[in-house]
Structure 1
Amino acid sequence: MDHAMRRYTVLFCIFSVVFGQCPLQLQEPCSCSSTRYEAVSIVCDKGESLSSVLVSLSNPPAQIDSLIISNTPIDQLPGYAFQGFNIKKLILRNNGLRIMHPNTFSGSLEESLEELEIKGNYIDTIPQAGLTVLKNLRILSLPDNLIDYVPDNAFLSYHSRDTIQKLDLSANNLTAIHPTGLLGLENLSQLSLDKNLLHEIPTQALSNIPTLEDLSLGVNQISTVPKDSLPLPNLKSLSLEVNQIRHIPSDSFQSVPLLTYLYIGNNLLTSIDPSIFYHIGNLKVLSMGNNKDITIVPADAFQHIPLLIRLELSDCSIARVENGALRKANSLQVVILSRNQLTQVSHDSFSNLPQTTMIDLSNNAINRVDDFAFSQLPMLTSLDLSSNRLETLPSNVIYDSLTYHSPSTVRKFLLQNNPWRCDKDLAWLRKWLRDNGDVMISSNGDLTTKCWTPSNLSGLDIRQTDPSPTTPARVKIGDQMRKILKPAETLLIPTKNDLDTETTKAHTAVNGLALVGLVLGIVLSVLAVCLILLLVIRWILRSYEEKSTGSNFGSTVGSNGYVGSAYSGAGILETGERAQRSTTNNNIYMNRPRYWWF
């Protein structure tokens, strides 16, 4: 027990030394946290003023990895504002800042500050006062301000001009950059000019920063990419997304031979011209999505970029991918063609792509996929065919693809939102999905992939076995009759292989019911004939009795004399008795029990 306690105490002490360097007492509005990357990270949010923040930080630690002052009214930063602080990264966000004193960062920050972000304020030009004294600044971020122009030699007076590697001027109001506006940034590797008002590429300004490797010009108003407009021999990543570019000449990228990542989506391009890639054979990522006028992927589209790894062509109007269009780019790993107008996938559209891990064809109008269309793709782990018009798939469509590699590999075969017809032609897929239970068939949050037809399987999870067929009431009567004639057999729930057998049994039940109906009809007919015969016999007997009674009565009257002679009292009495007997006999005949009629 003592040994365990000592061990925990040592671990606690080590943790406290490494991660627990926050001040013991830190007043509002500031708070401190420690992470494995930043031992001391202080956030001061919604303070009353800069003075209140500095009071809270009256006993700062020896080293502050990051200090964030946000949503605090600071119209201007005074001189020596951070005197006594040793800060590595300083972020001033949404404070209404307009002006900085020339000595704002004078003191220990001259040497310690490496990252400075002034975001969401009212800075309207590249700051000269204050920032020029910083000597080791590596990252300068001035996004979301009011800067509309980068003047001549804007950074030439910066002591850290040869150490700044990243400059962020995005989300300002920039309309132009002076030809020498970026002069002096001798080691700049990343420049962000996104979300501004530039109408053209600032070619002359860019020529002064040949070390640039990453350039972002997205969300501007650029309409052309002229020849030699990018004099950047070391450029590896270029973003021209969300502009107004209609055409890119074949020699536009001649001056950027090392280009590896190209983002030209959300423009007005009408086609994929293979010639624009001729000078950038090292390209690995190409994003051209959301160019609404692109309708075809031609067969030679990517013949000049064999090292392409990721291709994004979503949200276009592509209706056809010509045979062999991807064949020359056999290093492709990710292909995204979602939200287009494709109606079919041919057998060689994705052939000869041994490195492909993901294919996204969701949200098209695909109603036919050729056999072997996605076969022999050994690295494929994600295939998205969701939200199309597919009713079935051929049995070899994923032959030797989507194979199991390891428990850590997530396999996806997304099939939801298709009108699947779960008949014998799709039986192979349903069995394959049951045998490969780890494969995801619906994306997170979407409904389960279900059968649409036939009606008895509508709404059933495509992965489940078929349910027992629903038997109509009249067939159940036939089943009960068979139970009377034959002992019941063991009830078996049919699988997909027993569908034909179950159908045959249903037809047999219906035939048995017809036979029973025929027998009942014959029996009822015989009973009806018997009833008619009984009624006829009864009528004959009654007629015979009436004739016999009338004859006897006449003979009796005649033997007692003529009517109208002198009658004797005895004769009259005898005649009355016979009449009474006849009436009594008739009453007995009519009052017999009703069942006698039958």
Structure 2
Amino acid sequence: MERIDDDAFLGLDSVRELNLDKNNLLHVPTEALQRLLALEDLSLAANQISSVPVHALNFPQLKSISLEVNRISSIEANAFAASRTCSTCTSARIASRGSTKACSGHLSVGSFRFVQELVRLEMPNCLIRSVEQGTFQTIPKVQVIVLSRNQLRRITRHMFKELGELYSLDLKGNKAAEIDDRAFAVLPNTFDGTFQSSSNRVLYLYENPWNCDPLLDWLRQWLRDNRDIIIDAPGNPPAVCKGPGPLLGWPIRTLNPELPIIPGPESGALKPVTESTTHNKARMHLAAMILGIILGIFMITLLLLLIVRYFASQKRRKDKEAMEDQRRLGSTIAGSVFPSPAVPMSTLHSRRNHSYQLGRPWYWWF
């Protein structure tokens, strides 16, 4: 369905919720919807809508609008303006299909001027590159802002300034490498006044190329001081530093390792001269563990060889003793059957063979 007739909803004055998801609507059906004066929740997700013109959403009771997974390339500054249209709107979801077109690359200060009651704004996958100063300040009651997977390279100090109700901010998957000092608050180097006490504070920072130089130390220190704030989502890679070199892959919330530093060859910048001592210690512990395992295996093998050799020598010794016992036993048995003469046989043999030499009897001397 690419379009809706102007009289399609004639007589449905009390409709409060309308879902037109997963159609092929090319435009916001303003003429057909203008009769739904009680409409509070409108979902136009997963269509082919490419723009939101002025006065396209003329619904005085509207509280929630969803335009996610469309082909939106622009949102007019006064798209929600029509006799203060959507003055009670509390939720807006706008997103691109992520293909050839996307949401507006620039958010102007008038984008949300007429939705001042908005408490939830979702604009993921919109290729947003910049936000004009004062844009989000027109929705001071906003509590959740989702700007994930856009093209933001820098979070400026005016972007989220003085949003006292904000407790969840999703910036994952952007190209942000730095955040201006005091980017989230009025007070220097803190988020005080931006995030109020809450049981569930969220600031998704992962999948960004953070440059963890001294200019970002204030943010990292604040994250360490407020560990209840969630910066990573389960099943996703943690928020880590992409630079400078020695801090590559280092968790953004973790305290830097103690490194000796010297002035760099250019611009007098301080550069670490060695790698992270913590990483070195981890590598040393791992190497020691591997070496210990190898030595343990070697010692066990050597001990087994000694045990085998000992038992083998004992067996040979017992076999030798058994053979000697058998030899002695055999000699004893032979002697009992054929008793030996008192005079050795060799002597008798010698006497018998050589007595003729004297030519006299053996008893001649008597």
The normalised TM-score by structure 2 is: 0.60
Question: Partner residue of 1:527?
Answer: none
Secondary structure class of the residue paired with 2:92: strand
1:83-482 to 2 correspondence within 5 Å?
198-230=1-33, 231-254=35-58, 256-279=59-82, 280=85, 281-290=87-96, 292-376=102-186, 396=189, 398-402=191-195, 405=197, 409-420=199-210, 424-453=214-243, 458-467=248-257
Q: Residues 146-194 of structure 1: CA distance to partner in whole angstroms, max 9, x if unpaired?
A: xxxxxxxxxxxxxxxxxxxxxxxxxxxxxxxxxxxxxxxxxxxxxxxxx
Change over 3 Å in CA distance of 1:216–1:375 after alignment to 2: same
Looking at structure 1, the residues matched to 123 and 257 of structure 2 have their Cα atoms a distance apart, in angstroms, of 41
Residues in 2 aligned to 1:463 and 1:227: alpha-carbon distance in whole angstroms: 47
Alignment partner of 1:212: what SS?
coil
Query: Which letter maps to 1:303?
Result: R
**1:222: how far off?**
1.7
1:224 aligned partner, one-letter code: H
Post-superposition CA distance 1:298-330 (Å, at most 9, x none): 111111221111111111121111111122221
Q: What is the CA-CA distance between 1:263 and the residue it aligns to?
A: 1.4
The residue type paired with residue 119 of structure 2 is I
What is the CA-CA distance between 1:435 and the residue it aligns to? 3.6
Deviation by residue 1:14-64 (Cα, 9 ceiling, x = unmatched): xxxxxxxxxxxxxxxxxxxxxxxxxxxxxxxxxxxxxxxxxxxxxxxxxxx
Determine the C-alpha separation between the residues in 1 that align with 2:38 and 2:158.
37
The AA in structure 2 aligned to 1:285 is S
Q: CA deviation at 1:248?
A: 4.0
CA separation of 1:294/1:259 partners in 2, compared to 1, >3 Å: closer, same or farther?
same
Pair 445,289 (structure 1): closer, same or farther in 2 beyond 3 Å: same
- Determine if contact 1:295/1:317 at 8 Å carries over to the other structure: yes
Q: 1:273 to 1:465 in 2, by over 3 A?
A: closer
CA distance change for structure 1 residues 463 and 238 in 2, over 3 Å: closer, same or farther?
A: closer
* 1:241 counterpart letter in structure 2: A
Q: Distance in 1 between matches of 2:257 and 2:28?
A: 62
Q: Distance in 1 between matches of 2:242 and 2:161?
A: 30
8 A Cα contact 1:201 1:225, kept in partner: no
Displacement of 1:200 in angstroms is 1.7
2:7 is paired with a residue whose SS is helix
- 1:426-462 Cα offsets, whole Å, 9 max, x none, are 5544444444343434221234444555565555544
- In 2, Cα distance between the equivalents of 1:368 and 1:417? 13
With over 3 angstroms needed to count, the CA separation of the structure-2 counterparts of 1:304 and 1:418, relative to structure 1, is: closer
TM-score by length of 1: 0.38
Partners of 1:276 and 1:303 in 2: CA distance: 9
**1:178-232: CA deviation from partner (whole Å, max 9, x where unpaired):** xxxxxxxxxxxxxxxxxxxx22224424113222111111111222335531111
Q: Identity of paired residues, percent? A: 31
Inter-partner Cα distance in structure 2 for 1:246 and 1:368 = 32
- Letter aligned with residue 360 of structure 1: D
C-alpha distance in structure 2 between counterparts of 1:263 and 1:273, whole Å: 16
SS of alignment partner, residue 288 of structure 1: strand
Counterpart of 1:266 in 2: which secondary structure?
strand
C-alpha separation between the residues in 2 aligned to 1:218 and 1:363? 26
SS in 1 for 2:18: strand
Aligned-pair CA distance for 1:467:
4.8
Give the CA deviation at 1:463: 4.2
Corresponding residue of 1:101: none
Partner amino acid for 1:411? R
The answer to which structure, 1 or 2, has the higher relative contact order (CA under 8 A, 6+ apart) is 2
Deviation of residue 420 (structure 1)? 4.8
Counterpart contact for 2:91–2:118, Cα < 8 Å? yes
Alpha-carbon contact 1:299-1:326 (below 8 Å) kept: yes
Matches within 5 A, 1:512-591: none
1:277-318 deviation per Cα after TM superposition (whole angstroms, max 9, x unaligned): 113222221222116152111111111221111111111121
- In the aligned structure 2, how far is the partner of 1:453 from the partner of 1:246? 38
Structure 1 residues 334 and 209: alpha-carbon distance in aligned structure 2, compared to 1, 3 A threshold: same
Deviation at 1:416, TM superposition (A): 3.5
Please name the residue that 2:347 is paired with: none
Distance (whole Å) between structure 2 residues aligned to residue 306 and residue 199 of structure 1: 31
Which residue of structure 1 aligns with residue 263 of structure 2?
Answer: none
Q: How many residues align?
A: 254
Distance 1:329 1:226 in 2: 26
CA contact (8 A) 2:40 2:64 kept: yes
Task: Give 5+ residue unaligned stretches, structure 1.
Answer: 1-197, 378-394, 471-498, 501-598
| Distance in structure 2 (CA, Å) of the matches to 1:218 and 1:371 | 41
| Equivalent residues of 1:342, 1:364 under 8 A apart | yes
Taking the aligned partners of 1:275 and 1:426, their CA distance within structure 2 comes to 36
Partner amino acid, structure 2, of 1:286: A
2: CA distance between counterparts of 1:294 and 1:204?
31
Q: Distance in 2 between matches of 1:465 and 1:209?
A: 60
Q: For the pair shown, which has the larger CA radius of gyration, 1 or 2?
A: 1
Q: Aligned equivalents of 1:210 and 1:219: distance in 2?
A: 24
Amino acid in the other structure paired with 1:215: L
CA distance in 2, matches of 1:361, 1:267: 21
